[in-house]
Structure 1
Amino acid sequence: MSSVLLTDLSDHLALITGATGGIGHATALALGAMKCNIAVHYNANLEKAQELVSKLDSMGVRSEHFQADLSSYDDTRRLHKDVVDSLGQPSILFNNAGLTLGKSGVKDISEISVEDFEKTWRCNCATSYLLTQLCMPAMLEKEFGRIIFCSSVAGFAGGVVGPHYASSKSALHGLVHWLASAYAKKGITVNGVAPALITETSMLPGTNETLSSKIPIGRLGKPEEIAETVVWMVKTAYVTNKVIAVDGGLFVQ
Structure 2
Amino acid sequence: MSEEPAPLRATGIDQSFGDVEVLSDVSLSVDRGEVAAIVGPNGSGKSTLLRILAGISPPDDGTVTVPADAGGARSLGFLPQRPAFREGFTARDTLGFYAQLLDGVDNEDVAETLDLVGLAGVADRAVGSLSGGMTRLLGLGQAVLGDPAVLILDEPGSGLDPAMVERLFGIVGNLAADGTAIVVASHELPAVEAHADTVFLLDEGDFLASGSPTALLEETGTETLSEAFLQIVGTRAGETTVRAGVGRRANETETGGKRDDE
Q: TM-score range by the shorter chain?
A: 0.3 to 0.5
The structure where helix makes up a greater share of residues is 1
Question: How does the TM-score come out when normalised to structure 2?
Answer: 0.35
Which structure: greater strand fraction?
2
Compute the TM-score of the two structures, normalised by the length of structure 1: 0.36
Higher relative contact order (CA closer than 8 Å, sequence separation 6+): 2
